Every structure is written in structure tokens, then in C-alpha cells.
Amino acid sequence: MAFFGKLVAPDQEKKRSKPLQLLPVNNTQILQRFEKTLVGRVLNLEAQENKVKAVIGFLPTIWKCEGRVQGVEMGRGRFHFRFKEEADLQAVLDNRPYHFDGWMNAIERWVPTVRMDFPSSIPFWIRILDLPEIYNEEKQLVRIGEDLGELLNWKVMEPYPMIQVMVECDAPLILFWEIVSETEELFRIRFDYVKLQNHCKVCFRMSHDTRTCPTWVGTHQSHRDSQREPIRRREDGGDRRGRKAPQGEIAQPLRIGSILRLHWRKSGRTLVGIGKGQRCQSFVRWWWLRRRRRDSSGEQRSRRASEFLVRASEGQGDPDGSGEHF
């Protein structure tokens, strides 16, 4: 509280500087309450934070369980789906991943946690491309899948074997790997993520677009700074001759609309009932003809003045006395 301009903190505010320890919860009741609940969140928070309600209305139509599930928005791109039947919930989990408006959504069964980035992983089926036929067997797929992440399933099939792996939402996607064979030969295999939508083409993350990538923005900012550095050096040296003007000193060209308005205001000429393009062409034609007549009249006066001087030097002068020779 304040007393004669002096701020005095009460005892309660001093105690709030320490973290507040909450009371323990009854896990049995909590688990029973959220037994048939799925937790989801949008990965690109900047693009889809305001579209969570649309996501809640769209996903049940894909799951074909309208009327048997209730969606609730939880804030900061997070949402809950509460099911009536366990079979519907399990079917949704088996058919992951899901996306909306070109961006991935992470969905997982509810667990007691305080993490705001939960769920933090998505199960993807991944096709393995360019894998030699001699390595298309179960033990090789298990080895590759365990190195990628948490291996869920695999399929030995032709032409492309497949593995199902839990992929971290905020980690860069692994699109290829270099493999060394038994004969010390080096080759590369590629990974094709099934149902993968938009992602950053610079850092290969699913949480943002390429235009807003911190790596891309930082790289281009440093490149612009390196281009401006020679200009700063020349300015510091005091020699401003023979250099290009900085971006802030370049005079911006006048737009055609401003030029037309300026000339119309000076000449008092107005064109009514003509479209924008025709109005511009008409005015430019009129201005050009007027300039030509002005130049031609000036040339005629100069020519007539020179002829008058020639005749005056010859003693003829102004024969008619009109003075209209120039």
C-alpha cells in the first residue's frame, strides 16, 4: 500500500515471491474423469491459434463420430475431445496423424501432466526409399526404426518397406540418412512421411512456416548487414563520391496518379467520363502534343528571327512594319 508517496509492500505480497505448493490430488478420481478424453494441440500456433474452434468442428466429421464426442477449447492452441465409447477413441488413435488447413495436429490420450507442449509427438508411417533389396528384411527395419525414435510397427514389403515411428513435434524431420554397408560402401536412403503436410523447408520443423523460420530470418538479416557494411565504411571515411546511395537516401519515384493530378491542377484541364487507363493515355497524348507545339513554335520564332536579322543586314529591314516576324 502507499502512504504519503512511500510504497510499502504488505506481508502477503512478500510471501508470494515463493512458488505456491498445491495440495495433492486424487489420481483415481482424476483418471476416472478423463478416462475417455483425448488431448490435442495445433503445432503451428502462429497460423492456427485462432482456428481451434474450426479444428474442433472439423475432426469429428473425419472420424465419423458426430454426436458421440464433445470438443472443448483449452486455450493456447490446445483442445480436448471427450468420447462416449472407448471404441471410437481407440479408432481415432489408430488412424493418426491428422491435419487441418495444411498443418499437423498432435493428438494423444489424456495423461496427468502440467506440460503445455503435451502431446509432444506424432506417430508417422515412413516409407524407406532407395534401400537396397538385400537389406529389405525385418531386422534391418527394426534397426533403422529404433535409431529414428520410438518404433511402433514395421512392414516388410516391396518396393518400399515401411516403419511406424513416434516423431517429436518440435524436432527437425530426418529426411535422409547415410548408410555404410558391410563392404564399407556408402549409400543414402530417404524417408517419405505419409500424411505429412506443411513444414519449414529450412530447418524441417512442423511448428512454423519457412517465411517465419528463425534460422532463415537470421541468415538473411546477417546477409543484409554484410551488404550494408561497405556503405558504412565509406561514410565513416568521409568520401561520398562515386558510391551508391543507401536505401534510405534513394528518392522514391512519383506515381503516375500523382503526376497526372499535379499537371491537371496546374493546367486546369479535367477529363470526365473516361476510364483510368484511357484517362492516363489521353492526358499523356495531350501533354505530348502540347509540348511538341511549344517546341515547334519556339523553333519557328528562332528561324524567323534569324531571317529578319539576315534581311536587316542586307538593308531590307521590316518591309511591312508589322513586327510579326518573331
**3-class secondary-structure state, position 222:** helix
Task: Single out the residue of 41, 116, 95, 48 nearest to residue 72, CA to CA.
Answer: 41
pLDDT at 271 over 80: no
Tens-digit pLDDT profile for residues 302-317: 676 667 666 666 655 5
d(CA 72, CA 78): 9
Give percent of the chain above pLDDT 90. 53
pLDDT level of residue 18 (50, 70, 90 thresholds): confident
The average pLDDT across 240-253 equals: 48
Q: How confident is the model at residue 35 (pLDDT cuts 50, 70, 90)?
A: very high
Domain range list for the chain: 31-109, 121-193, 258-313
- In DSSP terms, 100 is beta-bridged to 103
| Predicted TM-score (pTM) of this structure | 0.63
Q: pLDDT-based confidence at 28, cuts 50/70/90?
A: confident
Average pLDDT of the residues in 225-238: 57
Check residue 274 and give its pLDDT. Answer: 44
Span 31-109 CATH architecture: 2-Layer Sandwich (3.30)
Percent of the residues in the chain that have a pLDDT greater than 70, as a whole number: 62
Q: Are 279 and 273 in contact (CB under 8 A)?
A: no
According to the model, what pLDDT value does residue 295 have? 61
**What mean pLDDT comes out for the span 169-187?**
92
